[in-house]
Amino acid sequence: MATFDSFVFDVTSESPQQIGPSLSGANNSVVLTKPTVSSVYSGKTLAGILYNDISGAGTATANLSVFSGIQFSVHPLYNGSTFALYFTDRSTTTFTVNTATALQTVTQAPGFDNRGPNERRRFAVEF
């Protein structure tokens, strides 16, 4: 199980929409290209990307994708970092960022093992 401290999120994927999250992270170091109808992986619709923020990472310059419908950009300092695709049903799947190749390789099937900032807050409130 992985825990992530940051996320970029398509607020239009939820009802009611969250206030605050956006398609770009701190300093624009991680940017999710606006998801489209084709932003589907394993039958699940993408809501966002979870990651751990790297202090000092500047503007995203590496354009990457997970299949053709899921596109995002990261700063090169994120090379080797674990990211997770976050779906509308709150499931996730992880991958390791490789800025040397545009197409990223997902390393696990979607499941409910990983936690982003929302799940961490929910867990803290419940316990």
Classified as helix, coil or strand, 30 is strand
- Residue position matching structure tokens 């790297």: 54
pLDDT value for 115? 67
- The pLDDT tens digits of the residues spanning 103-119 come to 998 877 777 777 666 55
Task: With a cut of 50, say whether residue 121 has pLDDT above it.
Answer: no
For the stretch 28-66, pLDDT in tens is 999 998 666 557 778 888 888 999 999 999 999 999 998
**What are 50's strand-pairing partners?**
7, 84
Query: For the purposes of burial, counting CB atoms within 10 Å of the CB of 93, is it exposed (0-12), middle (13-18) or buried (19 or more)?
Result: buried
Token pair, residue 106, equals 């997902």
Tokens 């398609």 found at: 23
- Predicted pLDDT at 117: 60
> Is the Cα dihedral 65, 13, 127, 6 positive or negative?
positive
Residues 3 and 114 sit within 8 Å (Cβ to Cβ)? yes
